Amino acid sequence: MEVFTSWRTWDDAAADLAALPVDLPELRRAATAAQRWHGDQRRPTGVPYTEHLLEALEVLVRGAGVTDPAVLAAVLLHDTVEDTGATVPEVEAEFGPEVAELVDWVTKPPAAGPGRQAKRAATSAYLRRLRDAPRAAVLVKLADRMSNVQRLDQMPPDFQRRYYAETVTYILPLAADEPWFAQWYAAWRGHFAHLR
């Protein structure tokens, strides 16, 4: 199972991206905006939040071979509305309606009420809704989840089992129509089969 963790900073990513057919200035703009919005946020593992965004970008570019500028900008911005004070209209004002729509598709709405059950219900509804998402939004979600699950073993055991089951139930069906992602997730599922 290949792991995508070599782009830890924008400079790491830019060095590789410079040789590829991508819109490097636009990606730099998206990375800068993501850094501005996410600020000093950290992932549960303690790493800067932007590392997750760059991992998802690396998945799309180095793994799946995606070069579409809107998809690549959206993957860098995919958590801004969900996890920062940014809004979809602000994303649209800076990056246009296509990127904003993709970010909107992959933004999990807040839970309808307090408690763990309400949060899990909101997550399930959101993941089911992605079955109707445009292909570009699915690519963003597949890359986002890959970044989250490629090192699942670094998370607490109870989280590992729940997240594994959620990924198998909702994300693997989304990956089925994308050959590269389907292959990667099949290898991932085998690697973490002990979590079944």
Could you say which DSSP state residue 63 is in? I
Q: Can 83 be counted among the known catalytic residues? A: yes
CA distance 91 to 105: 13
| H or E element in which residue 13 lies | helix 10-17
Burial class (CB in 10 A: 0-12, 13-18, 19+), 8: middle
Identified catalytic residue from 16, 83, 92, 98? 83
HSE (side-chain half, CA atoms, 13 Å) at 89 = 0
Q: Count of residues for the chain?
A: 196
Identified catalytic residue from 82, 90, 98, 104? 82
Q: Can 16 be counted among the known catalytic residues? A: no
Q: Annotated catalytic sites, by residue?
A: 82-83
